Structure 1
Amino acid sequence: MANMIRKGERGPGSLVRSNDPLRMDPLQMMRDLFRWDPFREMQPMGTLAERVFNPEVEFKETKDAYLCKADLPGIQEKDLEISVTGNRLHIRGRREEEETHEEDRYYAYERSYGSFSRSFTLPEGANADEVTAELKDGVLDIRIPKRADVQARRVSLQSPREQQEKGKVEDKKKAA
């Protein structure tokens, strides 16, 4: 018979969340650190579900754009707002709780609902006027193109001899 491992538990010798710093999962430590909000205590208290929903986001840079992906399962376009103010990208939305009945019996209830708001400072060189967004299969894709003046371009290497020859050609052009 297979051993059952509850969520959060792992087999012997693996990294787990504990108070022992030598046994803590470093990736989980980073996730916990970046989710900390020092102003959370100042916000009005809502239901637990309203405070818990915080979609996972991935933000990366390519050679010609900045790409943001957010996991938003169960959210419809009408419940989502994306805006750019100056150099700040704002994503706001709400996932409504499904209807429940008294006779329903839950064996697990781990899904979260409620409002969320995420904001990101756009890097210098982002073209905030041409931001595009698409919601497909529960994933929000936002593309922020880079301005042409900040996109990388290849610089060719020249030997000292090639530089001298190029200088001679330029001098002849100036003399003519």
Structure 2
Amino acid sequence: MSDLPVRRGSGTSSLGRWPRTADPFEQMRELMGFDPLEQMERLMGSDRSWGLSFNPAFEVKETKDSYIFKADLPGIRDEDLEISLTGDRLTISGKRENEKKEESDRFYAYERSFGSFSRSFTLPEGVDAEHCSADLKDGVLNLRLPKVPEVQPKRIQVSGGSQDKGKVKA
């Protein structure tokens, strides 16, 4: 692993050729006895697993007969996901565990995020809580909340007086 190119933005650098002291954080630790990541950890109150904080993207849409929620949840297992509906409040929460890191591991990029998340949505009246369904496939959560039949829009025919035209009432 002597030549590992890392592309970020418009430039390319080959970090594998740099001496270990080229790491600005390591240089700062050596020169000042200061570790900025350690200071951030103290503020965040956790170990280095806080990453970039795991905040999954959601898509919410309404169809004529249901509300559809989709969320990108890569790396989340079924047993690490909890979905609850209480009244008009839908809560989706879960966690993605940090992978075990070896002491000898040397990262050139660490952009994946781990941790717990919780999202709550306030729903309009008329969700049929008894017939909700959810599946997690290929890292995408699909949640369907059907509307109760009374809430679904119904088309009402309008009849005009055109049928009575020309008729004479006695």
TM over 0.5: yes
Bigger radius of gyration, 1 or 2? 2
Deviation per residue, 1:13-70 (Å, 9 max, x gap): xxxxxxxxxxxxxxxxxxxxxxxxxxxxxxx944372771111111110011000011
Cα distance in 1, alignment partners of residues 125 and 84 from structure 2: 17
Shift of the alpha carbon at 1:5? 6.3
1:150 alignment counterpart: 151
**Aligned positions of 1:34-73 closer than 5 A:** 45-47=44-46, 49=50, 52-73=53-74
More strand by share: 2
2:39 alignment counterpart: none
How many pairs does the alignment contain? 125
2:76 alignment counterpart: 75
Shift of the alpha carbon at 1:157? 4.1
**Is there any run of 5+ residues in structure 2 with no aligned partner, and where?**
1-6, 11-42, 166-170
2:104 alignment counterpart: 103
Matched, 1:6 2:9: yes
**Is there any run of 5+ residues in structure 1 with no aligned partner, and where?**
8-43, 166-176
After superposition, the CA RMSD in angstroms is 2.3
**Aligned positions of 1:81-160 closer than 5 A:** 81-160=82-161
Shift of the alpha carbon at 1:153? 2.1
Aligned partner letter, 1:89 = L
Deviation per residue, 1:112-148 (Å, 9 max, x gap): 1011111111111211222111111101111100010
Cα distance in 1, alignment partners of residues 159 and 138 from structure 2: 50
Cα distance in 2, alignment partners of residues 111 and 133 from structure 1: 25
Residue identity over aligned pairs, in percent, reads 54
State whether residues 50 and 115 of structure 1, in contact with CA within 8 Å, keep that contact through their aligned partners in structure 2. no
Shift of the alpha carbon at 1:79? 0.7
Shift of the alpha carbon at 1:71? 0.7
Taking structure 2 as the reference length, what is the TM-score of the superposition? 0.66
Following superposition, which runs of at least 4 residues in structure 1 exceed 6 angstroms of deviation? none
State the SS of the aligned residue for 2:109.
coil
Cα distance in 2, alignment partners of residues 108 and 5 from structure 1: 10
Deviation per residue, 1:151-176 (Å, 9 max, x gap): 122233434313x48xxxxxxxxxxx
State whether residues 79 and 94 of structure 1, in contact with CA within 8 Å, keep that contact through their aligned partners in structure 2. yes
Cα distance in 2, alignment partners of residues 114 and 86 from structure 1: 28
Cα distance in 2, alignment partners of residues 116 and 139 from structure 1: 15
State whether residues 87 and 128 of structure 1, in contact with CA within 8 Å, keep that contact through their aligned partners in structure 2. no
